Amino acid sequence: MSAAAIAAANEAFYTAFRAGDLETITALWAERAPVVCIHPGWDALIDRADIIESWRAILANGGTDIRCVRPRILTTGDHALVVCEEHLPQGVLVATNGFVREGGVWRLSFHQASPLQQRFESEDADDPGVVMH
């Protein structure tokens, strides 16, 4: 049952993102737990007000054609992670959304989206691909 509620919260996030619905995104972010948001290319935001401001800027021109693909949900008690791909017209990101249960409701506590490298040029399955690590 947790998994369904977490999947619904995750989907609510992307529905609001597509709609440019800042109010819903604001309500989704946790109020009591520590929060972290790392947009692609941005520095980390760890203050809730800064995070909401970042979303206001991102949604200023309306919604985004974004789709959450292959969500995988990992749960430990009142904490959950949803790992997924974000498909946008410009490319694919790998994203992690962290959720925490506050007052019985799953709310966002973490978001980090990273560019996914183009599929490896090499066909060699042993080649771990390009990394900066």
How far apart CA 25 and CA 98 sit, in angstroms, is: 14
Q: Kindly report the number of other CB atoms within 10 A of residue 71's CB atom.
A: 16
Of the pair 43, 123, the CB lying nearest a copy of itself is at: 43
Q: Dihedral through CA 35, CA 68, CA 117, CA 95, nearest 10? A: 10
Of the pair 100, 108, the CB lying nearest a copy of itself is at: 100
Least Å distance between CB 4 and a copy of itself?
A: 17
How far apart CA 5 and CA 32 sit, in angstroms, is: 19
Binding residues for a copy of itself (CB under 8 A): 33-34, 36, 38-44, 46, 54, 57-58, 64, 66, 72, 74-76, 79, 81, 83, 88, 90-91, 93-94, 96, 100, 110, 112-117, 128-133
Of the pair 4, 72, the CB lying nearest a copy of itself is at: 72
